[in-house]
Amino acid sequence: MRFAILLFLAAATAFAQTENTMTPSWETQKHARTYVLQIPAPRGQITDRNGLPLAQTRVSYNLAINFPMPPNFTLNGALAFAHEQMEIARTLTQRRIAISDDQILKHYGNRAVLPLDIAFDLLPAEIEAVKQKAPPSLSLHPLYQRFYPGGTLAAHILGYAGHAGRRLDGPVQNNEMLWPNSEGREGLEQTFNDQLNGKPGQLNLAFDANGKKVSEKIAIPPQPGYNVVTTLDEKIQRLAEETLEKGVKRGALVIIDPNNGDILAMASWPSYNPNAFVPTISAEAFKALQDDPNVPLLPRAFRSAYPPGSTFKVTVGLAALESHTVKPDDEFNCPHAFQIGNITMNNWKKTDSGMLNFHDALAQSCDTWFYQVGIKTGAQPIIDWSLKMGFGSKTGIPLASEAEGRVPTDDYMRKTHGRKLLDGDVANLSIGQGDLLVTPLQMAQAMAAVGNGGTLYRTRLVQQVQSIDSQIVTAYEVGARGTLDIDPKILAELKKAMVAVVSSRAGTGGKAGVDGVDVAGKTGTAQWGPKSKERNAAWFAGFAPAEKPRYAFAALYESEPGQSAHGGTYAAPMIGKVLGELFSDQTKSKQKGKRARNAEPVEPGEND
């Protein structure tokens, strides 16, 4: 954490060395004058759980014109001098430098005591060229700049920080900032803005009546901001984003530690580079981001909610078994279609699968089995278990505009559709369709609770806020929101069924399998969006290893309109890739021979 101290010393030293020609402007030179100016503080870091920086502060250098003092130029003379310096600057930097005459004259008339920045954030080669060849009338002006070393990495979580307000062009006032301070505009940068912002320092400048500087002193050094330590694991976050980049146009992937609720990775794709917003983003570049049809600014992992499809059958199964509506060995037929009133509701398979118990129905993801069991169980137990597992409410992560999702109740149905939940609605709910909406983060949270045996932890994104000397300022402790109180026998049966989803020949999630690891999971495919642009939301969610899980996860694939995309063929392979990397030490000692996961699904391309 010594990095911020070094930044301050570097910038403060550079400022003192490069600003030794400042004199009062025309309006202030008639009297001795002392300026008290504020030095912006370096913004604190945002790090991963191991202290690796995700957002930090660096020293940036601008190229500035120093006007000679006292200011005896006419207006034309001031412009001529500035144009001459700009031409020299163009030669040194090979940049297009465009400062308007109006800007030049405002600065000369009001702020000639301070340098006029004409080129911003110079590259190392440009800095060296200025140091070697620039005349005294051109100088380097150091300032603090936000920097995101990973580029797009965790962009939707970090957000970005930009300048708070425009550069000043009026007469120099006491206590004004030497350069605009930074403020968080999105993500953790915004939520923890007050903690990340340090305390400004104070620079005193004194001039005599002839405009000669008689003293310059840093009276109060700036105090760096606090550091925010997240629960993210930089390597796992990077792995999740790289997997999405290769596997989707639009989607999300969340990985949670089921033993404490820590978010290890929360990735949304496509992403954006927050460095583009530092210090400001052009109107054209921002419009391009806004107009992109793939919406790269949208954090799909926590700000978008989707119908969960058959991943929700885990919840329905718990509701049915825990309410004793059905027993694990009870069998129901799995036909290719099921009649509810005058509506025919189909299974994803086009053939009859015969009589199935819960284990086989979940492994094969039989829709018609769950229609029957859902209606037999009734809406209320399903709703109750949905809420117990965290659906329908925000997880509470410290990020703005988290979606709360939706669990349809009778009250909701009356307000929205003018009726209570009917059997057809319950059947739809039983396969994760209809008005039910879930975020990828909520799904991973629910799977973590099942995986750890029934504790719904408070999902944690930030571990602590600490000072520059590593003293804890604020700690965010691990804690439980509630418990599921699952009967151990039912939990064991559920886990066996979820393992069969991945490992059995008839299972729908074989492509999530990892040699040497029992992966427990559930596929899901749901129709989503308006009929004219209907898409599939393809899911795979679960935990691994099944018995003592280290990771709980949810992967979401957004299809193109009209594209047939299924959880088993699009989302499950992403989880398989991620888990293969996370458990690479175990896969090296895998047993000989092919596992069942290598078998083709029952109907390739149509598996749920």
| 538 CB-contact burial (10 Å; exposed 0-12 / middle 13-18 / buried 19+) | buried
Q: Where are the domains of the chain?
A: 3-230, 234-290+305-598
Confidence (pLDDT) at 589:
55
- Is the separation of the CB atoms in 226 and 43 below 8 Å? no
Helix axes 101-111, 75-93, angle to 10 degrees: 110
**Cα–Cα–Cα angle for 428, 429, 431, rounded to 5 degrees:** 75
CA angle 142, 147, 153 (to 5 degrees): 170
pLDDT at 99: 93
The whole-angstrom separation of Cα 126 and Cα 320 is: 69
Fold classified for 3-230 = Penicillin-binding protein 2a (Domain 2) (3.90.1310)
pLDDT beneath 50: ranges in the chain: 1-30, 591-606
**Residues 486-507: pLDDT tens digits?**
999 999 999 999 999 999 999 9
Percent of the chain that is helix, strand, coil (3-state, to 5): 35, 25, 40
Residues whose CB falls within 8 Å of the CB of residue 110, separated by 6 or more in sequence, listed in order: 25, 27, 169, 170, 171, 172
**CATH number of the domain located at residue range(s) 234-290+305-598 in this protein:** 3.40.710.10
